[in-house]
Each structure stands twice: as C-alpha cells, then as structure tokens.
Structure 1
Amino acid sequence: MYKLKIRNVSLEDLDCATRIEATCFPAAEAASRNVFKERFSVFPEGFFVAELNNEIIGFINGGVTNEDHIEDEFFETMNLHIPNGDNIVIFGLDVHPKYQRRGYAKELMNHFIEAAKKAGRKNVLLTCKEHLIDYYKQFGYVNEGVSESQHGGAKWYDMYLKLK
C-alpha cells in the first residue's frame, strides 16, 4: 500500500485538478480550468493536492475572507480573497471516485485544518449538501442551516469550524 503524499499545488497540476473536479461535481457546480488557474496563482498555499504513487487522486482548495459565510462570487473569482483575513473557506474537497471511501478526503481535510491553524486563521468555512453534513461534523464543523448560496442551483448548508 502506498502512502498518501499531500503537497501544495503547482501549475503542472492544473489539468489534472480540472479533470477531477469535473468528475466529482455536476457541470453547474464544478470550477473551470480558468478558475483553478486563478486560485493557483493567487493563493497556492490554500490549495493542496493528494498524490498516490505519483498520481494526483484528489485535492482541497480555498481562499481567505473576513466574512462569516462564503459568497457565491468567491467560487468564480479570487477578487474577494483577503490574504490576511480571519477565515479560510473551502471551495472544494475532491477525491477521484476510484479512490473514494479510503480515508483520503479525511487526510486532505486534516491537512487543510492544520495549515489553517498554523496560518493563524480563526475559522474554516464551507458549504455542503445535506448528505455531507454528518461527514463534516466528524471534524468538528457546526451546521448553521440552509445557506443563502445559489451556487450551481443546488441547496447548500453553511458550516464552520472554530479554530481559536
């Protein structure tokens, strides 16, 4: 069994991340190649890829804000990113379906949380669909109820994890 390697993203990972995103999310919700390229260039320290045997199998990515919830615009552009903000948001946690249910998403999430703590963030924010609420609760996230988000036309729930 190979050990999962988690590292910061590099520009060479762009196409692979885009393919995994398209596999994990419906087209209306998936980030495009250009959105990923902007995220890579603006905040690479908030974008981690998971490699297994030198193959990228998943990733987690986000941005930083002082807001208490993720605004839909933030999924499309990094214009709302505040480098020294209090809260880090998660745009997506993706693991290729071929590698799901093996704990890799959990390793990515734990890595992201530790990086957020080291960076001095106060909270981690995310939105998720109803069937994932209990999954995120295992990390200590609190469900705030139905989100105002209209991203991709889906029903989302706001969750947060207090770090300090």
Structure 2
Amino acid sequence: MSDIILRAVRPEDLEQVAKIEAACFPVNEAASPESFQERIRAFPDSFIVAETDGKLIGFINGCATNSPVIYDELFHSARHHLATGANLTVFGLAVLPEYRKRGIAAQLMNHFIQLAKASGRKSLILTCKNRLVHYYETFGYINNGLSGSTHGGAQWFDMTLTL
C-alpha cells in the first residue's frame, strides 16, 4: 500500500464515499448518497477523505454548529450547517474493513482535530456507541453520557473534545 493522502472531498468522490459508508455502517444508520451530495456541497472543508493509490479508503465529515451536542436533524439536512459555528461535529469516521488496524482512522481524526483548531472552533462533538467510547477518549474526548439522539434506532453517547 502506498502512502495515505488526506484531502478535502470533491464532488466526483460521491460514489466512493457512499460505498465506504455502506460498508461501514448498518443500513438504518448509514447516510444516503443524496445526503452525502448535500454535505459535499455544504461543507467540503470539513469533509476529509483518505486515499491510497487513487482509491478512497476512508473519510471523516461533519458540519459546524453552535449546539453543544449532535441532534438528529443535523444528520438529515445540511441546512443546519452554520459556517461560523463554535463546534465541529463528527458525523462519521469510516475506513473500509480491509484497511482497518493501520492507523488510518487515527490519521483522519488527528487531521480533523487540527482542522477544527485552525478554523477557530471551540470543540469537536460526536456521538458513538458504547464500544467506541474508549477509542475516542484516546484522542481526548470526554464522555458526557447517554445522548438524546435516537439516530438509526441505536443507543449513543455524547462525546466532546474541548480545543
């Protein structure tokens, strides 16, 4: 495998991004291609892809908001993106299964943290399942307990990384 390149998403990445999402998330939690198209248009600067040998293998994305937590409507419409928002959300951190355990997700997260700092955000916020709480804590996120989100019918935990 060649070097991993991290870069901002481009409109022509839509199909590959949708395939990664489908491979990484259950159907009831996965964003649709239409949702990704809207996100790519609305906040390409906070939609980062990982690529190797010309193939997309992962991504991280999220909108900006003044909300201290992710609420379900944020997932469903990019119209909630507030370019000057104090907080940057993490909607999804996904790496194709065959490329996992190589530090690619960590590269994406660390890049996203630096992007949030450089853009003057106060914090990064995300929701995750219980099994991933410890993973995000390794980046400095704090577990704020059960989330009000019912996205995909799952139980989520609110996590915050203060910058």
TM-score with structure 2 length normalisation? 0.99
Q: Secondary structure at the match of 1:143?
A: strand
- CA–CA distance in structure 2, aligned partners of residues 2 and 106 of structure 1: 17
Runs of 4+ in 1 over 3 A off after TM superposition: none
**Equivalent position of 2:71 in the other structure:** 71
- CA–CA distance in structure 1, aligned partners of residues 150 and 132 of structure 2: 17
The root-mean-square deviation of aligned C-alpha atoms, in Å, is 0.6
Q: Secondary structure at the match of 1:29?
A: coil
String of CA shifts for 1:56-114, please: whole Å, max 9, x gaps: 00000000000100010111111211100100001000000010111000000000000
- CA–CA distance in structure 1, aligned partners of residues 130 and 87 of structure 2: 22
**Equivalent position of 1:133 in the other structure:** 133
Give the % identical residues.
51
How many residue pairs were aligned?
163
- CA–CA distance in structure 1, aligned partners of residues 142 and 56 of structure 2: 30
Give ranges in structure 1 of 5+ residues lacking alignment.
Answer: none
- CA–CA distance in structure 2, aligned partners of residues 8 and 112 of structure 1: 11
Mapping of residues 1-164 of structure 1, within 5 Å: 1-163=1-163
String of CA shifts for 1:129-158, please: whole Å, max 9, x gaps: 000000000100000011010000000000
Q: Secondary structure at the match of 1:158?
A: strand
Q: Read off the aligned partner of 1:40 and give its amino acid letter.
A: I
Shift, 1:49, TM fit: 0.4
Shift, 1:35, TM fit: 0.3
Q: Secondary structure at the match of 2:27?
A: coil
Q: Read off the aligned partner of 2:29 and give its amino acid letter.
A: E
